[in-house]
């Protein structure tokens, strides 16, 4: 009997020892896993903060090497991260709700031309302008069978040197201001002034409003637009958050509407 009790007590001691050891191993593993997960999480946030979209990175390589030919190369190789593949939601909304001026409209840097086709109608003839011949070819291919084809035109030209035969009632800028070198923004504003009718409207989708470094796209702010547009006689009608921005751009995009006065530039 005594021998049996000794065996039972010994077995209980061994069991407790094994259990304690296993609990220690499990706890140790759990701590290591938590530290690893925490470290992985921090690395993930850091990677997200530092990472560059490979297509954007490739685009920057093209444009930095050749500010004009780089855009052609990006279209030739299909490196067009700004292309939504459909009309810009807020531009389409403004058109459908009758909130866009009628007359002649211009979309500089039109790319595939989705916005051009979307807002063209009997009351509004739209010109899509792009420096890339390949972009214009694609726009023409995509829109060749559009029922409103007689209300829009695509042209391959440099916005900064092109001279239209008539002034415009409306100009829409989206991912164009942010694509040019920041030191060209004053020239951009002067061109807007020169080709827009007095009293005409300039619509700017301001993106990306962020603290990113480098480009394109180059970071923008409301003050960046005001700094170059105010001296050219433009007055903001409204500047609001773009609630219809696509998900990756939400919170980083504003819709600005500007009127060009008849006053001459102060520069």
Q: What is the CATH number of the domain that holds 102?
A: 3.40.50.150
Which residue range forms the structural domain that includes residue 245?
89-260
| Residue 267: inside a domain | no
pLDDT band at 10 (very low <50, low <70, confident <90, very high): very low
On the question of pLDDT at 19 being above 80, the answer is: no
pLDDT at position 73: 72
**Residue 80 domain-assigned?**
no
Q: Which residue has the higher pLDDT, 38 or 141?
A: 141
Share of residues in the chain with pLDDT > 90 (%): 63
Q: Please, which pLDDT band fits residue 88 given cuts at 50, 70 and 90?
A: very high
Greater confidence (264 vs 35) lies with 264
CB neighbour list of residue 227: distance below 8 Å, 6 or more residues apart: 185
CB atoms within 10 A of CB 230: 14
pTM of the predicted structure, to 2 decimals: 0.75
The whole-number average pLDDT for the span 44-52 is 34
**Mean per-residue pLDDT, 182-186:** 96
Average pLDDT value over all residues in the chain: 81
Both 93 and 38 in one domain: the answer is: no
> Is the same domain home to 33 and 149?
no
Whether residues 136 and 243 share a domain: the answer is yes
Q: What's the start-to-end Cα distance of the chain, in Å?
A: 110
| Residue 73 resides in a domain | no
Statement to judge: residues 7 and 135 lie in one domain: no
Task: Give the SS3 label for residue 194.
Answer: helix
Query: In this structure, are 179 and 125 located in the same domain?
Result: yes
Model confidence at 66: pLDDT above 60: no
Is 253 part of any domain? yes
Please tell me the predicted confidence (pLDDT) of residue 55: 65
Which two structure tokens, joined as six digits, stand for 147? 């029922």
| 19 and 93, same domain (yes or no) | no
The structure tokens listed for 19 are 């259990």
Alpha carbons 142 and 161: distance in angstroms, whole number:
27
Q: Is residue 204 part of a domain?
A: yes
pLDDT at 263: 62
- Does residue 68 sit within a domain? no
Are 112 and 192 part of one and the same domain? yes
What's the structural domain count of the chain?
A: 2
Average pLDDT of span 206-234: 94
Say if 25 falls within a structural domain.
Answer: yes
- 111 and 195 part of one domain: yes
């Amino acid at each position: 009997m005594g021998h049996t009790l000794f065996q039972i007590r010994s077995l209980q001691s061994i069991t407790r020892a094994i259990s304690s050891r296993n609990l220690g191993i499990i706890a140790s593993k759990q701590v290591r896993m938590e530290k690893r997960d925490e470290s992985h999480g921090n690395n993930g946030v850091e990677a997200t903060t530092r990472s560059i979209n490979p297509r954007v990175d490739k685009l920057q390589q093209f444009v930095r090497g050749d500010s004009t030919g780089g855009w052609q190369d990006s279209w030739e190789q299909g490196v067009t991260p700004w292309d939504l593949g459909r009309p810009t939601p807020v531009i389409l909304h403004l058109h459908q709700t009758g909130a866009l001026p009628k007359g002649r409209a211009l979309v500089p840097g039109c790319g595939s031309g989705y916005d051009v086709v979307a807002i063209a109608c009997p009351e509004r003839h739209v010109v899509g302008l792009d420096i890339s011949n390949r972009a214009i070819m694609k726009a023409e291919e995509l829109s060749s069978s559009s029922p409103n084809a007689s209300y829009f035109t695509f042209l391959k030209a440099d916005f900064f040197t092109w001279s239209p035969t008539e002034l415009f009632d409306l100009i829409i800028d989206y991912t164009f201001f942010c694509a040019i070198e920041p030191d060209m923004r004053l020239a951009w504003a002067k061109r807007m002034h020169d080709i827009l009718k007095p009293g005409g409207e300039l619509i700017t989708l301001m993106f990306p409003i962020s603290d990113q470094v480098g480009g394109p796209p180059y970071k923008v702010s409301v003050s960046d637009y005001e700094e170059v547009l105010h001296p050219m006689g433009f007055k903001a009608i409204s500047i609001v958050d773009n609630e219809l921005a696509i998900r990756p751009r939400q919170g980083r995009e504003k819709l600005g509407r500007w009127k060009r006065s008849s006053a001459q530039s102060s520069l």
